[in-house]
Structure 1
């Protein structure tokens, strides 16, 4: 008898197969038991008919507890009523381990309880669907960059300096030196781009930011491409092509998951390049018209401001050319203005906030040296970064996309904590 996974059932209709599974839920009458089974690859209903299997197997089915592990043997048949399209007519059940008092039941539970039991909450249909969407975004990311001539590079997690200052970094000792957990691999990706042209990284980053909003995590994953000989406008084009690609990949390959989450797929269908753009100057004017009198030119935008801007569009929107005073030291100034830089944030619709930050980078040695001094950064810590501008420097650009915010947006998750397997939050390091 062939052992298969739920995701492969369509290939074995009419066959009798063996399936390793856990019991997600069940219901039964006097003569039929319906078992909701999961195996990690998907969910399927197993049907146990008393007169077909006999008293012993039927009583085993009725006595199964939630999350009990088992092997089930049965015939795969089509089921047009199911969104999955198939069910298993069970003939035999072999219990592997009977679960006892599984804490997460079909009833409602509080968020803190669920987070304390995150190791078990991941088994639920909703969390399973979000993780499958996360996986699809990761798969599509590699496909996009590999197909577009990018080389995957891995910047260090332990660093001796920071792209954006050390105020929001986790400090540690590196033997007898100070070190920090990386908040971005960007500086190292710039060095990589000077060697390989177009590169991208995909790894964990850390921000010691004491924020409790639904958009923030302490540890999260970033995709950071960097491109030599690419200036500001071309950088924006790569960003919108990439975001379109991953959104359409989710729409195409996660149909069941999006349906399970109740996601309005029409909003995803509309994520097609090009994306609208609004300058920081015009965004300030817009916010004043909308009654945000507290914001003035030179201020950074908060969540309410970004949401108000995003609500005026039905797809992601670029906010471009921010004031030089609120952006990091490495951003290239505007060629015709000394008060703004060649940067953009990409704001997701539906209140999910910034998912990408990007810019053209300074490629002039003297200007970069000046900007380091203006930001009060130790030039010696950035000596290698400065040297890139002395050894065949070229215009170059890049960006960083936050994976978890993107997962939350595309899946429709209410809070970013559901978009990563084990979230690290301001007051949560367990489990």
Structure 2
């Protein structure tokens, strides 16, 4: 007898198989028991008919408790009533481990309770669906970058300097030196791009920002790309192609999950390159037209501003050329203006905010030294980074995409805390 996973059931219609699973829920109507089973790869209904099984098997079906683990043996049949399309006609149940008093029952629970039990909340259908979509985005990310000729590089997590200043970094001691948890692998990727041409990374980043909004995490994962001999507009083309690629991959490969989450997929089907682009100047004008008189030129946008701008479009929108004063030291100045830089933030639709930040990088040695000094950074700590502008400098550009915000947008989940297995929030480091 073949042992299979739930996701492989469509390949075994009419066969008797064995599946290791947990009992997510159950109901019975006298002589029939319906077991909702999950095994990590998916969910399926198992049907136990009293007349077709032993007394022991039917007794087990009636008595087994939520989240007990078991092996079930039965025939795979088609079931057009379910979104999965298949069910299991159970012939035998082998209990592996009985669970008692499972904390998360089929009723409403408060957010804090669920967060305290995140280690088991992950087992629920909605959380499972979000994690499957997250995994698909990661899979498609590797597929996209590999297909475009990028090499994966792994920047360090412990760093001796800060890519964007030191105000939001976690400080630690590195033996007898100061060190920080990385807020971005960008500077190291720039060095790698000078060796490998086009590179990308995927890893954890940390921000010691005391924010409690639905868009913020203390620890999150970022996909970053860096490209030698790429100017600003060329980088924007890569970014929009990448975002369109992962959205279409999710639509293709996560139909069941999006349906379970109640996601309006018509909004996602429209996500195709190219994306609209407006300048920071135009964004300020648009906000004033919409009644946001509080925002003035030179100020950064908050969540309400980004949402208002995004509502003007049915795709993600690039806001380009922000003022020098609100952007990091390494961004290339605009060729015709000294008050803005060649950068862009990509704002997702439906109020999910910025999902990508990117720019063309400075490659003039003297200008880079000047900017490091203007930002009050220690030139000695950045000596290795300055070498990139000294030895064979070239125009180059890059960007970083926040995975959790992107998952939230694509799934339609309200808060980023549900888009990462174990979220780290301002007041939460458990479990």
Q: TM-score range by the shorter chain?
A: over 0.9
Q: How many residues align?
A: 431
Question: How far did 1:78 drift?
Answer: 0.4
Q: SS where residue 388 of structure 1 aligns?
A: helix
Task: Determine the structure 2 residue equivalent to 1:416.
Answer: 416
CA distance in 2, matches of 1:56, 1:159: 61
Structure 2, unaligned stretches of length 5 or more?
A: none
TM-score (norm 2): 1.00
2:28 is the counterpart of 1:24: no
Distance 2:45 2:341 in 1: 56
Cross-structure match for 1:197: 197
Once residues 276 and 314 of structure 2 are traced to their aligned partners in structure 1, the CA distance between those partners, rounded to angstroms, is 9
Note if 1:345 corresponds to 2:320.
Answer: no
Cα offset for 1:224?
0.5
1:29 Cα offset (Å): 1.0
Match of 1:92 in 2: 92
Matched, 1:72 2:72: yes
SS at match of 1:420: coil
SS at match of 2:222: strand
1:387 & 1:23 partners in 2: Cα distance? Answer: 59
In the alignment, the residues of structure 1 paired with residue 392 and residue 264 of structure 2 have an alpha-carbon distance, to the nearest angstrom, of 49
1:356 aligned to 2:395? no
* C-alpha distance in structure 2 between counterparts of 1:231 and 1:242, whole Å: 17
Task: Provide runs of 4+ in structure 1 moved above 6 Å.
Answer: none
Mapped pair 1:164 → 2:164:
yes
Separation of aligned partners in 2, 1:63 and 1:314? 51
- Equivalent positions of 1:243-258 (< 5 A) are 243-258=243-258
Deviation at 1:130, TM superposition (A): 0.2
Q: CA shift at 1:426, angstroms?
A: 0.2
Matched residue, 2:330: 330
Distance 1:252 1:105 in 2: 32
Within 2, Cα distance between the matches of 1:10 and 1:317?
40
Instruction: Look up the SS of the partner of 1:156 in the other structure.
Output: coil
Task: Kindly state the Cα deviation for residue 55 of structure 1 after the two structures are TM-superposed.
Answer: 2.4
Q: Distance in 2 between matches of 1:325 and 1:160?
A: 24
User: In structure 1, the residue corresponding to 2:297 is in which secondary structure?
Assistant: coil
Structure 2 CA distance for aligned equivalents of residues 328 and 119 of structure 1: 37
Deviation, 1:56, is 2.1
Query: Any gaps of 5 or more consecutive residues in structure 1?
Result: none
Displacement of 1:171: 0.2
Alpha-carbon distance in 1 for matches of 2:56, 2:140: 47
* TM-superposed deviation, 1:59: 1.3
Tell me the distance in 2 between the aligned counterparts of 1:54 and 1:6.
Answer: 24
User: How far, CA to CA, are the matches of 1:371 and 1:403 in structure 2?
Assistant: 30
Alignment of 1:32-431 (within 5 A): 32-431=32-431
C-alpha deviation, 1:57, in angstroms: 1.2
**How many Å separate the matches in 2 of 1:421 and 1:413?**
14
**Structure 2: how far apart are the matches of 1:293 and 1:263?**
34
* TM-align CA RMSD: 0.4
Distance in structure 2 (CA, Å) of the matches to 1:9 and 1:57: 22
Distance between the aligned counterparts of 2:412 and 2:321, measured in 1? 29
Structure 1 Cα separation of the partners of residues 62 and 317 of structure 2: 53
Deviations 1:111-142 (A, max 9, x none): 00000000000000000000000000000000
Q: 1:67 is paired with a residue of what secondary structure?
A: coil
CA distance in 2, matches of 1:356, 1:54: 58
SS of 1:40's equivalent? coil
1:59-78 deviations in whole A, cap 9, x for unaligned?
11010110000000000000
Separation (CA, whole Å) in 2 of partners of 1:399 and 1:173:
29
Query: How far off its partner does 1:106 sit?
Result: 1.0
3-state secondary structure, aligned to 2:390: coil
CA distance in 2, matches of 1:97, 1:290: 59
CA distance in 1, matches of 2:388, 2:274: 33
Deviations 1:309-340 (A, max 9, x none): 00010010000000000000000000000000
The Cα of 1:25 is off from its aligned counterpart by 0.4
String of CA shifts for 1:14-36, please: whole Å, max 9, x gaps. Answer: 00000000000000011000000
Matched residues in 2 for 1:44 and 1:353: separation?
36
